[in-house]
Structure 1
Amino acid sequence: MNEAETGPVLYAEPGSTWWPVLWGPGFALIGLIVELATPAGGVNLPVWILLAGVLAAATVLWVYARRRALAVQLTPSVLSVGGEELELTRIAAITDVGAPMGARVLGGGFTPPKGTGEIPLRLSDDKVVLAWAKDPATLIDELRPLLSES
């Protein structure tokens, strides 16, 4: 959904930044500098350029996957967690909700991603699901007024 359909973004975690794409070219540059500093002879500049490109391309795929799988976004009408969208009208409670064993994790997976905190949500059909975020307290603070209004 786009912003016109769901409203402004109130909370967002991108899942990853793009700066890791620079790691590969940086390592290739270090390798080139080391090769230039050694008295062994010829410099393989095309190989270093190819290596930088291959490492950058692989990292682009990795970052893109993380941005899709680990993104969290809250708008006035939708909570999107790991690519799964949950309409806020389906959320009945976020306080005093226990996380039962086997509760479904939003966005797929068996557990919330490493480095995130879980947020149990009771849905209107009385099922409990687990949302997650790197900063769960802030997400709850942003989510709470949206639920009390509805």
Structure 2
Amino acid sequence: MSEAETGPVLYAEPGSTWWPVLWGPGFALTGLVVELVTPGPVNLGVWLALAGALAAAAVLWVYARRRALAVRLTPEVLTVGGEDLAVSGITAITDVGAPLGSRVLGGGLTTPKGTGEVPLRLSDDRVVLAWAKDPATLLDRLRPLLPES
């Protein structure tokens, strides 16, 4: 979706940064340095291959986290994980209890570890659970978009 379709981003959590991709090459560099300062053969090719393999695995991991754990709010759409919810379909965010068995947005069975629940009442009177690392800020940014009740 382009900004022209959804408006400016009011709240965003990327799900993950890209810096974990450097962990594997960092470990491989440490192993190479240890080999360089100790007696014995230096296996430069092995360390380079290891660095590349670990970086490639980390790219996949980060990419998956950025898709599955991202939260984005625009004036039109709340995106939680891989699920879009029209802001116009949300009727209440205050005094909304989360009944047992409420559906979690984004496709998970529970809210992701390290996130807080944000219960939302929809126009069809269902309650769903959004989530964010900073639920209070998400609620503050969402509140002005909803009709006063």
Distance in structure 2 (CA, Å) of the matches to 1:74 and 1:57 = 30
Residue 66 of structure 1 corresponds to 65
Equivalent pairs counted in the alignment come to 149
Which secondary structure does the structure 1 equivalent of 2:146 belong to? helix
Residue 79 of structure 2 corresponds to 80
Deviation at 1:42, TM superposition (A): 1.3
Residue 129 of structure 1 corresponds to 128
Which amino acid counterpart does residue 137 of structure 1 have in structure 2? A
Structure 2 stretches of 5 or more lacking a match? none
Residue 115 of structure 1 corresponds to 114
Residue 22 of structure 1 corresponds to 22
Which secondary structure does the structure 1 equivalent of 2:15 belong to? coil
Distance in structure 2 (CA, Å) of the matches to 1:73 and 1:36 = 47
Deviation at 1:149, TM superposition (A): 6.7
TM-score for the superposition, normalised by structure 1: 0.97
Which amino acid counterpart does residue 108 of structure 1 have in structure 2? G
Which secondary structure does the structure 2 equivalent of 1:111 belong to? coil
Structure 1 residues 149 and 3: CA distance shift in structure 2, 3 A = farther
Trace 1:51-62 onto structure 2 (pairs within 5 A). 51-62=50-61
Residue 143 of structure 2 corresponds to 144
Deviation above 2 Å: which 4+ runs of structure 1?
Answer: none
Indicate conservation of the 8 Å contact 2:91/2:147, yes or no.
no
Deviation at 1:106, TM superposition (A): 0.2
Trace 1:37-48 onto structure 2 (pairs within 5 A). 37-39=37-39, 41-48=40-47
What does the per-residue CA deviation read over 1:83-106, in whole Å, with 9 as the maximum and x for residues that have no partner?
Answer: 100001100100000000000000
Deviation at 1:36, TM superposition (A): 1.0
Distance in structure 2 (CA, Å) of the matches to 1:16 and 1:42 = 38
